[in-house]
């Protein structure tokens, strides 16, 4: 399954009342929005018509998040689904995630693109290949180390995989508090030592099985009812462990 097909499935299942995307490029993924949406990219070049309700911002994500009222463009709604596909350097992705999370609810879903490079060359910080993931693959390792409270999944989509993060905590400041230390760990010169498990996609979940999981209906119901996180997360983890075998370690 290609990544746009998976994203379309998420939009269908979650019906997010507010969608945020970092890295618009040609607009293919932003065009999937079904309601109020924000697209952020300092150099987008649209080739796809966007639906009504989409607001574009030709600026960096840092500039957008520095706004006094970043949710104004979404009618004050907190972000329910976000797709992060901006600068392909891990320290930028970690910062984007931290900024998105503070504008989200615990029921929100964050998706990263390019989490599974196919070669070490494709994962270089200094772009040398036509298809380029950068070192985005490091992001889930950072979340595992600093935010074990999150539920993080690698999804085996084409061409370069997706990362899906559930169980957010908008009040967390851990990533921002430790950001300098995180950058020191992430930024190393090329060539990047990409783990063989990443290149082999070990533990990556089947996208069709994940879309078929009841986790999305559980999240949507919890969002619509305002259900507290502590009462729902155990059900999410159990549903994942049962419906997506590869997700058992992440959902334990």
Task: Indicate left, alpha or beta for 158 from its phi (over 0: left) and psi (-120 to 50: alpha).
Answer: beta
Tens-digit pLDDT profile for residues 113-169: 999 999 999 999 999 988 999 999 999 999 999 999 999 999 999 999 999 999 999
In this structure, is residue 246 part of a structural domain? no
pLDDT band of 246, cuts 50, 70, 90: confident
Residue 54 has pLDDT above 70, yes or no: yes
pLDDT value at residue 250: 58
Query: The whole model's pTM is what?
Result: 0.96
Residue 194 has pLDDT above 70, yes or no: yes
CATH number at residue 7: 3.40.50.150
Domain count, the chain: 1
Q: Which is nearest to 192 in space by CA: 242, 108, 132, 144?
A: 132
Tens-digit pLDDT profile for residues 206-233: 999 999 999 999 999 999 999 999 989 9
Note down the domain range covering 35. 3-206
Dist. CA 1–CA 3, nearest whole Å: 7
In this structure, is residue 172 part of a structural domain? yes
In this structure, is residue 242 part of a structural domain? no
Residue 24 preceded by cis peptide, ω within 30: no
In this structure, is residue 223 part of a structural domain? no
Calculate the alpha carbon distances from 4 to 27, 97, 197, 223 in Å: 11, 20, 24, 24
Average pLDDT, stretch 19-40?
97
pLDDT value at residue 116: 98
In this structure, is residue 250 part of a structural domain? no
In this structure, is residue 233 part of a structural domain? no
Query: Long-range contacts of range 61-68, CB-CB < 8 Å, 24 or more positions apart?
Result: 61/22, 61/86, 61/92, 61/95, 61/96, 61/99, 62/95, 64/38, 64/40, 65/99, 65/103
What percent of the chain stands above pLDDT 70?
Answer: 98
Let me know: does 69 contact 48? Beta carbons within 8 Å. Answer: no
In this structure, is residue 144 part of a structural domain? yes
pLDDT value at residue 247: 67
pLDDT band of 11, cuts 50, 70, 90: very high
In this structure, is residue 230 part of a structural domain? no
**In the Cβ-directed half-sphere of 126, how many Cα atoms lie within 13 Å?**
4
Q: Which of 44-58, 192-206, 233-247 has the lowest mean pLDDT?
A: 233-247
Residue 251 has pLDDT above 90, yes or no: no
User: 29: Cβ–Cβ under 8 A, 6 or more apart, which residues?
Assistant: 4, 7, 21, 83, 85
Let me know: does 153 contact 237? Beta carbons within 8 Å. Answer: no
């Amino acid at each position: 399954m290609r990544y746009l097909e998976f994203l379309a499935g998420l939009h269908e299942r979650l019906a997010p009342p507010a969608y945020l995307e970092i890295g618009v490029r040609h607009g293919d993924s932003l065009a999937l929005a079904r309601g109020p949406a924000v697209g952020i990219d300092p150099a987008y070049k649209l080739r796809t018509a966007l639906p009504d309700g989409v607001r574009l911002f030709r600026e960096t994500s840092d500039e957008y998040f520095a706004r006094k009222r970043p949710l104004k463009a979404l009618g004050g709604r907190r972000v329910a689904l976000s797709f992060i596909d901006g600068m392909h350097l891990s320290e930028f992705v970690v910062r984007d995630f931290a900024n998105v999370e503070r504008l989200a609810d615990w029921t929100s879903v964050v998706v990263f693109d390019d989490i599974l490079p196919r070669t070490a060359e494709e994962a270089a910080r200094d772009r040398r290949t036509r298809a380029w993931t950068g070192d985005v693959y490091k992001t889930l390792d950072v979340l595992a180390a600093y935010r074990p409270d999150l539920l993080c999944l690698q999804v085996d989509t084409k061409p370069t995989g997706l990362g899906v993060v559930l169980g957010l905590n908008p009040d967390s400041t851990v990533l921002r508090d430790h950001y300098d230390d995180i950058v020191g760990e992430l930024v190393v010169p090329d060539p990047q030592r990409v783990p063989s498990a990443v290149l082999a996609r070990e533990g990556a979940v089947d996208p069709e099985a994940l879309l078929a999981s009841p986790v999305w209906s559980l999240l949507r119901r919890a969002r619509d009812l305002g259900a507290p996180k502590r009462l729902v997360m155990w059900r999410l983890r159990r549903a994942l462990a049962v419906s997506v075998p590869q997700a058992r370690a992440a959902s334990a």
